[in-house]
Structure 1
Amino acid sequence: MTTAPSPPSDEATQPASSTSPTSTTSPAAPAASRGWAPLRPLILRLHFYAGVLVAPFLLVAAVTGLLYAASFQAEKIVYADELTVSAGDTKLPVSEQVAAARRAHPEGTVTAVRPSPEADATTRVLLSGVPGVDPDHTLAVFVDPYTAKVEGALEQYGSTGALPLRTWIDELHRDLHLGEPGRLYSELAASWLWVIAAGGLVLWFSRRRALRRLRGTTGRRRTLGLHGTVGAWAAAGFLFLSATGLTWSAYAGANIDELRTSLGGATPALAATAAGDHAEHGGTSPGDRQAAPGAGLDEVLAAARAEGLTDPVEIQPPADASSAYVVKQVQRSWPGKQDSVAVDPATGEVLDVLRFADYPVLAKLTRWGIDLHSGVLFGLVNQIALMLLAASLILLVLWGYRMWWQRGRGSAFGRPIPRGAWAEVPPQILVPLLAAVAAVGYFVPLLGIPLAAFLAVDVVLGEIAHRRGRRTYAAK
């Protein structure tokens, strides 16, 4: 729910430090130790410090995520000349469009073709190995499907066809343009977001007065009310963003993939092996294959259409002499079009068909979750929802830090939550809780490692404070 320090009230439960020799036990302590009530101070302390330490990372992720969600519509405006054409009467064969792209850009290798999916949309011919183009990107050559005129060429990245503007923002959101080391920031943010959100929900709804209206409140209580109310409404979205964001992460993502595979939820693969030996076609580009014996792009596309693959589709040429053409649907918006077929390059015969309807449930959920997180599943509505979530996260961080300031009452800025909350938790709750935290921390390393480091530092500081307090007490 929340992303910055958010102690629920000025008189929030604040257990006296268990390490202080002057600590006293409240008469209500035995009653409070029963049930789950003692967990609240522990959650409060975790929520406070996680917010203080992780909020900067979440703030960056929220700002860049907001920009990314807005980049879909911005891309349509910025690259309108390359993306759109005046609708004509009859589209030319795909092979002619690819040939035109190759004449304009003979460099590189054709790795895919995305025929014009709409009446006013250009065809994209994707080239890899082009000098000056990032090896992880392709050069998209945009061709008018009615005249075969090349409208331009831009770098493209990813399965959603991100062009330079969206690619730049995407990489900023993912790794701050720092490469693999930069991905640690986004994984750290995703690893902690669900913890802070869930903890904030528990703290908020464990207090009856949290449900009171904001009208008439001032100061820190009003900030708390805004923080808690917005956080409670947005919490489900934060939990979703955290879970789906981890699927892309370097360390937790690998564990998630392994778990999904072990549960039989891996994404199935299309058998794209040609029926026979077609070595005479090896090394030819799809644009040149029309002069060679066997099936060309138009025949391959026709075979895919016969299997029910409607636009938008992507045609991938054989990877080598023993491979087949692959034609797959690439629509990620609802309802998704994700069917694919393999077509023999010699005969034009469909060798294999993979239907999205036949995917395992976990594979489908993963696909939908990623597309929803990316802002493509429900188009503009999806993107607006992501922008609202990002804006909420930004506000929650700012309100959280404001509460930290207000908590100091002017002179003692950022008073921390006292130690000792764990000592109030009954062993029958604390032991299973620690085991669960250890398991989750192992599965999500950028949650477990910082948490272990925080606990170690906190124990050391607590011991130092305890010894100082004992010396002071003895001196008296």
Structure 2
Amino acid sequence: MTSIDVPPTPVTEPGAPRRAGLRPLVLRLHFYAGLLIAPFLLVAATTGLLYAASFQIEKLVYQHELTAPAGQARLPLTQQVAAARAAQPQGKVSAVQPGVEAGQSTRVLLDVPGLAESTKLAVFVDPHTAQVRGRLESYGSSGALPVRAWISNLHRHLHLGEPGRIYSELAASWLWVVALGGLVLWATGRRRRFLPERGTTGLRRTMSWHGSVGVWVVLGLLFLSATGLTWSKYAGENVDDLRTALGWSTPAISTSAGDHAAHTPGAHQQETTSAISVDRVAQTAAGKGLSGPLEIVWPAESGGAYVVKEIDKQWPVRLDQVAVDSATGQVSGELRFADFPLAAKLTRWGIDGHMGLLFGLANQIVLMGVAAGLITLIVLGYRMWWRRRPAAGGLAVAPARGAWRQVGRTPVGLLALLAVGVGIFLPLMGISLLVFLVIDLLLGRRAAGPR
């Protein structure tokens, strides 16, 4: 990398020195973040686009398991679960998701030794004949089948486990900075256009497209950054601590055997016996207004309660839950989504929107569009840098050092305090920002030469 030293943006308007000073600072940060973080963003955007498409891919790949020939009458859930248990005798039933739409199979989830964390074995049963349609591993609360789970892990950590999560957290930590910085540059520039400028060529045309595309996708990028951080390792822990401190945590339903997380993946170590049938559990939940799609979760221990959950995450969402006593068949607890704290609702909607669940196919198309927009911005950004790099005889993109002096000590001090606070809350961003500063300092000394 060569030194970056060009004159700062000239001040042409009276009374605008502060604006002229702030813009070079934003441009310098936008330049370094875009140049050095863009590879991580490019991977995140590409794998994210693939994940948004994975829902439709999953339906095509596993059509046989997910569907069943339409029939007139449905067999009792007890019989369907028994068929799944017979097909996988070493598994312990933990939950069942009855097929509710015509041509949809019933999914019986079992805990089977040897599966990865948060993974269960899904046995798909024809609800009309109790014939087993297939067996597949099911990952996470969204029930991702192998293809989608593979793509999900690629997007999350590149199949590298915990070390791989650093890449995605770094991308999410800087995405909002790059997006907001680009918006500020667009808003303070001379050519604020929502569509690319016509009749331009070369670098000016590239810059016009870069700015226009960025304006159209900036809200989506900010949304993906904020929601993506909730899954991150280090920043995610800080987000969880903040939510807990402010009372924004998602409430959990109580059961008759105590506050056991009967609906938590991995809680079912053994299949429990019950005095009532799963069909009665479903009837009791229906009496409380719960309707499909549902997930009926087995008690975590003997004497516990079944937990029946609505799992319709498409808008308008249906996410009510009831606990049904395994001995009496009576409702022992209720948890209505309408009673969630607003912050918990926003978190739920944000996560589901990030995953492409909230609005179904429309949500997935929008996510693919935002991801494609981010890929386009990165390619155009590198193209601008390449055409203006000093080695090619052009001018570097970043402004000259020392622009902070035009801003004033008080604003710079506030920005420094803000950077420290953000760096503590987003540790990987704080560390990488220090790296940027060190690189910039070394380049500056190199450009100055020996004294």
- The alignment's TM-score, normalised by the length of structure 1, stands at 0.87
**1:462 corresponds to which of 437, 440, 444:** 444
Alignment partner of 1:316 is 2:297:
yes
Question: Aligned partner of 1:398: which letter?
Answer: V
Tell me how far 1:208 sits from its aligned partner: 2.4
Q: Which residue of 1 aligns with 2:50?
A: 67
Aligned to 2:326: 345
Match of 1:78 in 2: 61
Structure 1 residue corresponding to 2:406, chosen from 399, 418, 424: 424
Structure 1 residues 67-76 or 420-429, which shifts more?
A: 420-429
The answer to whether 1:158 aligns with 2:117 is: no
> Does the residue aligned with 2:242 lie in a helix, a strand or coil?
helix
Instruction: For 1:27 and 1:342, locate their aligned partners in 2 and report how far apart those are by CA, in whole Å.
Output: 67
Secondary structure of the residue that 1:155 maps to in structure 2? strand
Deviation at 1:110, TM superposition (A): 1.1
Note the alpha carbon deviations across 1:283-342, whole angstroms, 9 max, x for none. 8736xx4xx6x2121111111111111001111111112421111111111111111011
Q: Is 1:89 aligned with 2:72? A: yes
Tell me the equivalent position of 1:382.
Answer: 363
Selected match of 2:339 from 353, 358, 367: 358
Show the counterpart of 2:264.
none
- Are residue 205 (structure 1) and residue 184 (structure 2) matched? no
Say if 1:374 and 1:27 are closer, same or farther in 2 by CA, change over 3 A. Answer: closer
Partner of 1:22: none
Secondary structure of 1:161 counterpart: coil
Please tell me whether the aligned partners of residues 98 and 295 of structure 2 are also in contact (alpha carbons under 8 angstroms).
yes
- Measured against aligned partners, the alpha-carbon deviations of 1:144-183 in whole angstroms (never above 9, x if no partner) come to 0111000000011111111111000000000000001101
Q: Which one has a bigger Cα radius of gyration?
A: 1
SS at match of 2:20: coil
Kindly tell me: are residues 413 and 216 of structure 1, through their superposed partners in 2, closer, same or farther at Cα, counting changes over 3 Å?
Answer: closer
Partner of 1:49: 32
Name the CA distance, whole Å, in 1 between partners of 2:7 and 2:435.
23
Amino acid of the structure 1 residue aligned with 2:148: R
Separation in structure 2 between the aligned mates of residue 128 and residue 267 of structure 1, nearest angstrom? 25
Q: Distance in 2 between matches of 1:155 and 1:414?
A: 54
Kindly state the Cα deviation for residue 32 of structure 1 after the two structures are TM-superposed. 4.8
Identity %: 56
TM-score, length-scaled by structure 2? 0.92
Q: Which residue of 2 aligns with 1:23?
A: none
Q: CA deviation at 1:379?
A: 0.5
Question: Offset at 1:441?
Answer: 1.2
Counterpart position of 1:180: 162
Q: Which of 335, 348, 354 in structure 2 is aligned with 1:373?
A: 354
Partner secondary structure for residue 357 of structure 2:
coil
> In structure 2, how many angstroms separate the alpha carbons of the residues matched to 1:176 and 1:27?
46
Gaps of 5+ in 1: 1-6, 17-25, 276-281, 472-476
Aligned to 1:278: none
For 2:190 and 2:437, the matched residues in 1 are separated by 31
Give the Cα separation in 1 of the matches to 2:436 and 2:332.
56
Q: Are the structure 2 counterparts of residues 460 and 166 from structure 1 closer, same or farther at C-alpha, using a change threshold of 3 Å?
A: same
Aligned equivalent of 1:433, options 401, 412, 415:
415
What is the deviation of 1:459? Answer: 2.4
**In the alignment, residue 404 of structure 1 is paired with which amino acid?**
W
Q: How many residues align?
A: 437
Distance 1:414 1:93 in 2: 73
CA distance in structure 2 between the aligned counterparts of 1:203 and 1:98, rounded to whole angstroms: 59
2:68 partner SS: coil
The answer to whether residue 176 in structure 2 is matched with residue 194 in structure 1 is: yes
Matches within 5 A, 1:265-276: 265-274=248-257
Is 2:316 the counterpart of 1:330?
no
Instruction: Give 1:425 shift.
Output: 2.0
* Aligned-partner residue type, residue 159 of structure 2: H
Matches of residues 97-176 of structure 1 in structure 2 within 5 Å? 97-131=80-114, 133-176=115-158
CA distance in 2, matches of 1:325, 1:14: 69
8 A Cα contact 1:137 1:155, kept in partner:
yes
- How much does 1:261 deviate? 1.7
Matched-pair contact (CA < 8 Å) for 1:123–1:143: yes
| Alpha-carbon spacing, 1:357–1:397, altered in 2? closer, same or farther (3 Å) | same
Q: Contact between 2:196 and 2:212, CA under 8 Å: does it hold in 1?
A: no
- Is the contact between residue 128 and residue 135 of structure 1 (CA under 8 Å) also seen in structure 2? no
Q: Which residue of 1 aligns with 2:429?
A: 447
Give the structure 2 partner of residue 285 of structure 1.
271
Q: 1:402 to 1:461 in 2, by over 3 A?
A: closer
Which runs of no fewer than 5 residues in structure 2 stay unpaired?
A: 259-267
Instruction: Choose 104-113 or 190-199, whichever is displaced more.
Output: 104-113
Q: CA deviation at 1:264?
A: 1.6
Amino acid paired to 1:313: L
Alignment-derived partner of residue 391 in structure 1:
372
